[in-house]
Amino acid sequence: MNELKKNKDFAGPKGPVVLAIMDGIGIGKNPESDFVLQSATPNLDWLREHALYTELRAHGVAVGLPDDGDMGNSEVGHNAIGCGRVFSQGASLVGKAIESGAMFAPESVWDELIRNVINKESTLHFIGLFSDGNVHSNLNHLETMLRKAKEQGVKKARIHALIDGRDVPPTSALEYVERFETFLNEINADGSVDYCVASGGGRMNITMDRYNANWDMVRRGWDTHVKAEGRRFASMKEAIETFRKEKPGILDQDLPAFVIERNGAPVGPIVDGDSVIFFNFRGDRALEITKAFEADELTEFDRGPKPDVLYAGMMQYDGDLGVPEHYLVTPPAIDRTMSEYLSNAGIKQLAISETQKFGHMTYFFNGNNSGKFPTETWVEIPSDSCPFEEAPRMKADEITDAVVRAIESGDYRFIRLNYPNGDMVGHTGDVNAVKVAVEAVDQGIGRIIEALKKTGGILVCSADHGNADDMCELDKKTGKLVLDDEGKFKPKTAHSLNPVPAIIYDPSGEAHASLADVPNPGIANLAATCISLLGFEPPEDYVPSLVKVG
């Protein structure tokens, strides 16, 4: 059993330690683009002046991604926060598996998928995010797999492209289309293969729902990719240009579904005998479409007859559930999370958020496992189903209500929560809504502070990555805002590469906490910090606590 040693000098606070994750609220580099700075945040401003304060890395190698040019995301961020160490993650794991050739080894899942279509003279399908954002997917991985498929004798491949606009600039789709068309022209040039795009649509319109928030998205994706039902176009480029003319200002992520036709018929429905790869490596927005392909019975929507295909994910998306059954790259084996250690120590824990980030505070926080540890209580507050910019406070008030009740009840020694506002509203590009979102989070933090003052608890406040702090496109050389032809700033909807705040506030002062000298701290240091403040010594292989106590 993984056990914690008690701190001889500090037994922990009278009240709970509360870990508040302000999703998407980082520290901007340009005041004109930083809508956290431009929001009214009196509580966070006060904490910065009166509490222990430092800044943490939340992207790149600090969270297990290949390069410091890679933006962090909520999945890897919550992994790092929850396990107190840095594991090689998504894009890095896949990149290594491709580079080493391990993904394509004999008797691998890839080998099985390829043999299936060659033996049956059927089609190899790829569904996934058409992006190089390195958050859910990478277009380089898709192109490498298509080259390998051709090399191994696959004659027919179809791509079902989910258009990004969240992890990359919001209207950048045609840049990726033009790049991929060039790639397809080259790979098809000798006439030995027929590889083409078969269907697609915006990632927030079809297929990539998460946490069972909107299964109608998945239904639309299923009808588009599998049944080839929908509005038809001669090319992906034509579809995008048409939708933009019909609805000026539409963001890529919201583009409607489309089906590509040739000679009056869809080019790529998914039928019996085919192989299908969902090439996203991140799990949260892959689970529902995976269930649609794998479940014998599906109650969430009427999918019609399920085609008899060999389906695989880029990675295993849920270790506890064993989903999907087949996957190309083994995910990191994240063990000995903070939740497990605290559970073994008998510490009652509460994990809470609304639907949009509930899985991050549970599944991802616990090392990509959906199982609950014995001393944990999980609370999910249903998210709104409307666009986030229309209700930017989201469920911040309800989350705060529940957290304050939990603090005052004395039932929990450790409470962890996520306010999704800065991230989910940040992705919309609506800066006025973002300000409302950030202010809702600040108000919630203020109420938590007051509850902790009454109960003798401690607040640890941070973020998993930035977003609302970097809402405008900036010139890479000058750092100034990039303006369009009308002199307006170009919105940026992706996560930032900025650091995030780390605030430790002990209103009673009984922990006698002071900042430790930690070189290059990152969000993985938050686990040891919370463990220290609870009166225990962190595991030796955790990255160190941000504070000294006692």
Enumerate the active-site residues: 74
Q: Is residue 5 annotated as involved in ligand binding?
A: no
Q: Is residue 210 annotated as involved in ligand binding?
A: yes
The token pair at 350 is 């509460």
Q: Is residue 453 annotated as involved in ligand binding?
A: no
Q: 24 in the Ramachandran plot: left (φ > 0), alpha (ψ -120 to 50) or beta?
A: left
The token pair at 93 is 């794991």
Closest to 198 (Cα-Cα) out of 165, 220, 226: 226
In this structure, the number of other CB atoms found within 10 A of the CB of residue 326 comes to 16
Q: Is-contact 338 414, C-beta < 8 A? A: no
Q: Which helix (H) or strand (E) holds 411?
A: none
Q: Is residue 74 annotated as involved in ligand binding?
A: yes
Rounded to the nearest angstrom, the gap between the alpha carbon of residue 142 and the centroid of all alpha carbons in its chain is: 20
Give the amino acid at 194.
D
The token pair at 3 is 């056990």
Q: Is residue 465 annotated as involved in ligand binding?
A: yes
Give the amino acid at 487.
G
3-state secondary structure of 190: coil
Q: Is residue 464 annotated as involved in ligand binding?
A: yes
**Which residue matches tokens 């791509």?**
159
In this structure, the number of other CB atoms found within 10 A of the CB of residue 62 comes to 23
Q: Is residue 401 annotated as involved in ligand binding?
A: no
Q: Is residue 495 annotated as involved in ligand binding?
A: yes
In this structure, the number of other CB atoms found within 10 A of the CB of residue 473 comes to 18
Q: Is residue 475 annotated as involved in ligand binding?
A: no
- Cα separation, 36 vs 500, in Å, equals 11
Q: Is residue 306 annotated as involved in ligand binding?
A: no
- Cα separation, 41 vs 221, in Å, equals 40
Q: Is residue 283 annotated as involved in ligand binding?
A: yes
CA angle 309–311–312, rounded 5-degree value: 165
State whether the Cα torsion 542-332-27-70 is positive or negative. positive
Q: Is residue 203 annotated as involved in ligand binding?
A: yes
Q: Is residue 282 annotated as involved in ligand binding?
A: yes
Q: Is residue 57 annotated as involved in ligand binding?
A: no
Q: Is residue 111 annotated as involved in ligand binding?
A: no
3-state secondary structure of 47: helix
Q: What spatial distance separates the first Cα and last Cα of the chain, rounded to whole Å?
A: 27
3-state secondary structure of 81: helix
Q: Is residue 532 annotated as involved in ligand binding?
A: no
Q: Provide the annotated binding site for substrate.
A: 136, 166-167, 203, 210, 282-285, 357
Q: Provide the annotated binding site for Mn(2+).
A: 23, 74, 423, 427, 464-465, 495
Q: Provide the annotated binding site.
A: 23, 74, 136, 166-167, 203, 210, 282-285, 357, 423, 427, 464-465, 495
